[in-house]
Amino acid sequence: MEAGSLPLNHIARLQQTTRERTLVMGILNVTPDSFYDGGRYAQLELAVQRALQMVEEGADIIDIGGESTRPGSQPVPAEEELRRVLPVIQAIRQRVDVPISIDTTKSLVAEQALQAGACMVNDISGLGFDPRMAEVVARTGALCCIMHIQGTPQTMQNNPQYDDVVRDISAYFEERLALAERAGIPREKVWLDPGIGFGKTVEHNLQILRRLREFTAFGLPILIGASRKSFIGRILGDLPPEERLEGTAATVAVAIMNGANAVRVHDVRAMVRVARMVDAVLRVSG
Ligand code: PT1
């Protein structure tokens, strides 16, 4: 693939898929692993192998992130984020024809990732942390996911509060969509994500899944990322992340039943099966 040209075919493919069935986004974290220190090249090779495996397992898009945004995590300088994600994007693009999203809040990282062959910006701050992000998305013609967060990853779990979590998030979406439009981002290029786990209590997360249908009023694709998150562990009696597969499957099924168009998951093979099964139940044919 030539650098500098946005993969328009990937954008068209993703837009079509969200109209036809549930899209599965595979998570690829490119953050230092405290249990593994094989050097940068070995890390790169492992990341690319994991991406290829997720494509084999049925992922429709690979979401690449070089900065953790889990509760309490610290920001990473743009230069370090770029060192982590760019080689991975380039290597994946050389080896397989799969759409790539860049999970970042920084316009510099987004711009260079798009230059390297990504077609979507997944911004957990909903274009809110970096004042230049909306302009980069508009100018490049990329897809973008506007996610809701209350606060910042460092502080978001300190006493999150809402009048009505679903209505408050909808008001935030209205505001962010207006900003996106002013910046010149076509509405057809936007997905919405209520941000499970981003400044929400267990009850807030459950309420979002229960009332997800309300967000379909925007007429835009809805992405849900509940995979292995702590509220699942809490509901199931303090299970660790590696024991949250079935809980994740339940959230994926409920989310799709309630109108989700895409799910962001670690366990691609299992969640593709869950999605295909729920899609079959929901399909109205004839
Ligand atoms: C998400 C998401 C994301 N989640 C989108 N991007 C993360 N669009 C990163 C926990 O409570 O839902 N949507 N990018 C990961 N963030 C978290 C948050 C991970 C909370 C874990 C928790 O365990």
9 domain residue, yes or no: no
C-alpha 188 to ligand 1 mean position (Å): 24
pLDDT of the residue at 286: 55
121 domain residue, yes or no: yes
4 domain residue, yes or no: no
16 domain residue, yes or no: no
How many structural domains compose the chain? Answer: 1
Minimum CA distance residue for ligand 1 atom 2: 225
pLDDT of the residue at 1: 47
The verdict on the CB of residue 264 being under 6 Å from ligand 1 is yes
C-alpha 44 to ligand 1 mean position (Å): 22
CB-neighbour burial class of residue 5 (10 A; exposed 0-12, middle 13-18, buried 19+): exposed
Closest ligand 1 atom to 228 CA:
23
CATH number of domain containing 233: 3.20.20.20
CB-neighbour burial class of residue 8 (10 A; exposed 0-12, middle 13-18, buried 19+): exposed
Whole-angstrom distance, CA of residue 73 vs CA of residue 92: 27
C-alpha 196 to ligand 1 mean position (Å): 7
Q: What is the pLDDT along the chain (286 residues), one digit of tens a residue?
A: 456 789 999 999 999 999 999 999 999 999 987 667 778 888 999 999 999 999 999 999 999 999 999 999 999 999 999 999 999 999 999 999 999 999 999 999 999 999 999 999 999 999 999 999 999 999 999 999 999 999 999 999 999 999 999 999 999 999 999 999 999 999 999 999 999 999 999 999 999 999 999 999 999 999 999 999 999 999 999 999 999 999 999 999 999 999 999 999 999 999 999 999 999 999 986 5
Whole-angstrom distance, CA of residue 140 vs CA of residue 119: 9
DSSP string, 7-75: -HHHHHHHHHHHHHS-EEEEEEE-S--TT--SHHHHHHHHHHHHHHHHHHTT-SEEEEESS--STTPPP
pLDDT of the residue at 97: 98
91 domain residue, yes or no: yes
Closest ligand 1 atom to 147 CA:
8
1 domain residue, yes or no: no
Rg from Cα positions in the chain? 18
Whole-angstrom distance, CA of residue 54 vs CA of residue 24: 10
The verdict on the CB of residue 251 being under 6 Å from ligand 1 is no
Sheet of 143-147, strand order: 190-193, 143-147, 120-123, 100-103, 61-65, 23-29, 262-265, 223-224
C-alpha 11 to ligand 1 mean position (Å): 23
Tokens (6 digits) for 78: 């743009």
Whole-angstrom distance, CA of residue 4 vs CA of residue 10: 15
88 domain residue, yes or no: yes
C-alpha 264 to ligand 1 mean position (Å): 9
Domain housing 224: 21-280
Q: Which of 29, 62, 64, 122 to mutate to test the pocket of ligand 1 (most atoms within 8 A of CB)?
A: 122
- Rounded to 10 deg, the angle between the 268-282 and 245-257 helix axes is 30
Specify whether the CB–CB gap between 82 and 61 falls below 8 A.
Answer: no
Residues with a catalytic annotation lie at 229, 264
pLDDT of the residue at 37: 73
Q: Which of 18, 61, 70 to mutate to test the pocket of ligand 1 (most atoms within 8 A of CB)?
A: 70
Residue with tokens 């209520």: 194
188 domain residue, yes or no: yes
Closest ligand 1 atom to 69 CA:
16
Specify whether the CB–CB gap between 65 and 103 falls below 8 A.
Answer: yes
